[in-house]
Amino acid sequence: QAPSAVLRTLIESLTPPSSTATAADGAPGGNPLPPPISYRAEPDGARPADPAIEALPDARVLHGYLGGAAYIIEIPEVWNGDLVMWMHGFEDFAEQGRATAPDVRRYLIANGYAWAGSSYSSTGFIPDRGADETAALWDYVARTIGRPTRTYGIGLSMGGQAAYALLSRHPKMYSGAASLSGCPPVSGPLNQGYVRTTVAKGGGDADNMWGPPGSQLWRAHDPLLHLGALRGKNLFLSAG
């Protein structure tokens, strides 16, 4: 796990000072929710594992299945109103997808943040699906528990790419995003090579995902080419 000082830096870099904070998501009971987000009704080639985990002290856990994906939601007893959406990394092409807890879990709960994470409805290199099904989970949280004051996407590796895709696709839901060891831009030759190598490790072919190099789908999944949607958002990027 990352040192606590790094975790504090990450969270504080995403969270604006309270005196100047504006809720992009809208405070609970404020702005109306966006239209419901669709999601796959059934798993796609990989069934989700049981998402049950034990709640940390002074918190409660909700877990279950949203269509073809499993989810975990953890809410501190004293909630500050902010929500972190966690996006896990590449799982090869495993037979089961898993909803996992972030390394920042204890820090989040201790400091009043709720968090939620999805297994996604499949495994493999699927940052786009990860982004969309994480957005669907945010919608579920907002409609069943209450709309967060602010929401931040944090993702690791493949999830780091999904975090920026999440923000560029659903900017009205999110105040910021953090990409940890991710590869958000994918349309350049070097980054396309990274994606192709990652997919090939599991026996896949990236052409089946986004088409040949330079095609429209590669550009559509590159947050660097959609910077307008990130304007005014808090961003954190770590790679090394």
> Beta partners for 150?
82
Is the pLDDT assigned to residue 118 strictly greater than 70?
yes
Q: Are 46 and 126 in contact (CB under 8 A)?
A: no
Whole-number mean pLDDT of the chain? 83
Q: Residues near 124 by Cβ (< 8 Å), separated by ≥ 6?
A: 46, 90, 91, 92, 93, 199, 202, 204
pLDDT of residue 240: 62
Is the pLDDT assigned to residue 28 strictly greater than 70?
no
Read off the pLDDT band of 98 (50, 70, 90).
very high
Q: Residues near 94 by Cβ (< 8 Å), separated by ≥ 6?
A: 46, 123
Is the pLDDT assigned to residue 203 strictly greater than 90?
no
Name residue 109's amino acid. Answer: I
Tell me how far apart the alpha carbons of residues 102 and 115 are, in angstroms, rounded to a whole number: 9
With a threshold of 0.75, does the pTM exceed it?
A: yes
Per-residue pLDDT tens over the stretch 216-232: 888 887 877 877 888 88
Q: Are 89 and 198 in contact (CB under 8 A)?
A: no
**What's the CA angle centered on 74, arms 73 and 76, to 5 degrees?**
150
pLDDT of residue 16: 62
Tell me how far apart the alpha carbons of residues 181 and 158 are, in angstroms, rounded to a whole number: 8
> Beta partners for 114?
83
Largest Cα–Cα distance in the chain? 51
Is the pLDDT assigned to residue 165 strictly greater than 60?
yes
pLDDT of residue 8: 66
Is the pLDDT assigned to residue 167 strictly greater than 80?
yes
Given CA atoms 28, 152, 226, 220 in this order, what sign does their dihedral have?
Answer: negative
Tell me how far apart the alpha carbons of residues 154 and 161 are, in angstroms, rounded to a whole number: 10
Tell me how far apart the alpha carbons of residues 204 and 124 are, in angstroms, rounded to a whole number: 8
The H or E element containing residue 159 is helix 158-169
Tell me how far apart the alpha carbons of residues 196 and 152 are, in angstroms, rounded to a whole number: 28
